Amino acid sequence: MASAAGLLFVLCSFVALFVVEVECWRPGKPISPIRQGVKAPLPSGYSYQTLYYDQQIDHFGFANEKTFKQKYLFADQFWNKKGPIFFYTGNEGTIEWFCNNTGFLWDIAPQFNALLVFAEHRYYGDSLPFGKESYQNSSTLNFLTSEQALADFATLIRYLKATVPHAADKPVVAFGGSYGGMLAAWFRIKYPNVVVGSLAASAPIWEFTGMIPCSSFYDTTSQTWYDASKTCGDNLHRSYETIKQVAAEAGGYDFITDTFKLCTPLKSKYDLGPFMSMLVETYTDLAMVDYPYPASFMAELPGWPVAEACSYLSQPLEGKDLLRGLSRVTNMYFNYTGTTDCVHWNGSGGTPTLGYEGWDYQSCTEMVMPMCSNGSGIIYNIDWNFQQVSDACYRRYKTRPRENWISLEYWAKELKAASNIIFSNGMYDPWSSGGVLQSISETVVAIQIPRGAHHLDLRAKNPKDTREVIAAREQEINIIKGWLGLTP
Ligand SMILES: *[C@@H]1O[C@H](CO)[C@@H](O)[C@H](O)[C@H]1NC(C)=O
Ligand SMILES: *[C@@H]1O[C@H](CO)[C@@H](O)[C@H](O)[C@H]1NC(C)=O
Ligand SMILES: *[C@@H]1O[C@H](CO)[C@@H](O)[C@H](O)[C@H]1NC(C)=O
Ligand SMILES: *[C@@H]1O[C@H](CO)[C@@H](O)[C@H](O)[C@H]1NC(C)=O
Ligand SMILES: *[C@@H]1O[C@H](CO)[C@@H](O)[C@H](O)[C@H]1NC(C)=O
């Protein structure tokens, strides 16, 4: 999921092992699995092979028997042919990006002697069912669903077990963060025969219609900023009125354009909407990536970026001074490296590796996540109107979202029958609002990480890690050992 509309989301040395082509397991229809070894050195010095699997386009119907090449990253340098398979359920973006941001798996693979697999989600990265035409229309997009993605993961695992020597009887543990975390949890729920357990990090599986109040996401965002500084939160709370006032003054739009170094000038009150929503996105993204050390997850940023941003707003500010303060926040978010010429306010900014387009479509079909705000916190008044969303979806994709499908399909809060899932959440992360924060049973366990941001626990260990995240990772390792029958 990317930013306000979407979501959600470490590293890999290398010896180019060329995996031998092997017969496919699928009965009746021989597919030639393309397994191309590609060198891919990563900063950590880890390495993987980039491989492709001929994946069924449609798992749930029989009219279309075509396949596409699903990319996955394969790292067996830690595997002693006895250890488990750790499987990352890819989310909405190119898989290397998630691999680059899931250092936890690389950190723990040696102690588990684990085989690592990162599977790309269909319709993202290079895993395009209809190539360049995958996003053409609602017919080509029709196979972009979480159910198809889970079936991809399950069939890929069956294929790997059938073809990788010594893999057949090894237990598989699923890992994912954000939407990938939702998929990891749902994977265990739907395919307990395939995975022994799942670590679902920052997985907002309850961010859907009817499960939590629509204000929850922005309430948590506000909380994170108010925690950093009350004065800072109050400044942000007042700022929207201030923006409108300053804009209404003579030369007001030019002042805002110049102060924020906007790429396109603000010209009228109609531009204020998208401009302010850019600010809201900045605040939610900063809360998401409020890591204790400098990171470049969604943007290049200093450690504790929310506190850093609040250092520009630590005094009660008004009028143009307040806007200058805000511009230092956007400057930090968009321009920490000092190489950004101007700030986009009309939707052209953002993280290019995240599949905005794909997630937008998923939001217009299955992933209906109501979000609203009554303006009492740092976010202005935002209404949630399903009909409007549905109409906008129809105009764009000729699809209408099914508001209540996910809750039926994936059990909503009725998780008592599930087992072996860890739901971890960083409590600074706005997405924790839709997460499972209390344990459901002995084996469906919630881990809260105070002062934690979006799936901080999945990131590579860092000297600046808080004791809370260190403790969370230890607990996760012990639970996973339990699933694998290893003594903690
Ligand atoms: C992952 O890290 C490698 C090594 O730093 C880099 O070359 C590559 O561009 C990164 N990929 C993504 C998608 O972030
Ligand atoms: C959708 O796009 C595909 C690929 O370009 C094309 O073959 C098909 O006719 C289109 N379908 C509709 C309903 O426009
Ligand atoms: C980014 O930082 C550089 C160096 O400080 C500055 O020259 C430039 O104007 C900044 N860009 C924006 C958009 O603030
Ligand atoms: C943003 O505005 C610029 C200039 O008007 C335009 O070229 C660009 O296409 C706009 N982007 C979006 C996403 O609307
Ligand atoms: C606005 O929302 C906040 C947080 O959800 C809630 O505590 C507050 O009571 C609401 N205020 C009004 C006026 O509805």
Domain boundaries, the chain: 12-39+228-353, 49-209+408-483
Distance 462 CA to ligand 4 centre (A): 39
Please choose, from the candidates 465, 449, 435, 459, the residue with its C-alpha nearest in 3D space to the C-alpha of residue 202: 435
Q: How far apart are CA 205 and CA 226, in angstroms?
A: 25
Structure tokens at 16: 């180019």
User: What is the reported pLDDT for 296?
Assistant: 83
Flag the least confident range among 24-28, 87-91, 170-174, 179-183. Answer: 24-28
Q: Is residue 102 in contact with ligand 1, taking CB distance under 6 Å?
A: no
Is 222 noted as a catalytic residue in this protein? no
For 12-39+228-353, CATH number out of 3.40.50.300, 1.20.120.980, 3.30.465.10, 1.10.1660.10 equals 1.20.120.980
Q: How far apart are CA 81 and CA 238, in angstroms?
A: 60
Q: How far apart are CA 238 and CA 233, in angstroms?
A: 9
Q: Is residue 43 in contact with ligand 4, taking CB distance under 6 Å?
A: no
Burial of 312-339, coded b for 16+ CB within 10 Å and e otherwise, reads bbeeebeebebbebbbbbbbbbbbbeee
DSSP 19: P
Q: How far apart are CA 462 and CA 459, in angstroms?
A: 8
* 121, pLDDT greater than 70: yes
Is 454 noted as a catalytic residue in this protein? yes
Better pLDDT: 45 or 86: 86
pLDDT digit string (tens) for 394-406? 999 999 999 999 9
* 4, pLDDT greater than 90: no
Burial of 363-374, coded b for 16+ CB within 10 Å and e otherwise, reads bbbbbbbbbbbe
Residue closest by Cα to atom 4 of ligand 1: 42
| Pairing of the two strands 421-426 and 444-449 | parallel
pLDDT digit string (tens) for 238-289? 999 999 999 999 999 999 999 999 999 999 999 999 999 999 999 999 999 9
State the pTM of this model.
0.90
- Grade residue 345 by pLDDT with cuts at 50, 70 and 90: confident
Q: Mean pLDDT over residues 40-47, rounded?
A: 56
Q: Mean pLDDT over residues 320-333, rounded?
A: 97
Structure tokens at 80: 């002693």
CATH 3.40.50.1820 for domain 49-209+408-483: yes
Mean pLDDT for all residues in the chain: 89
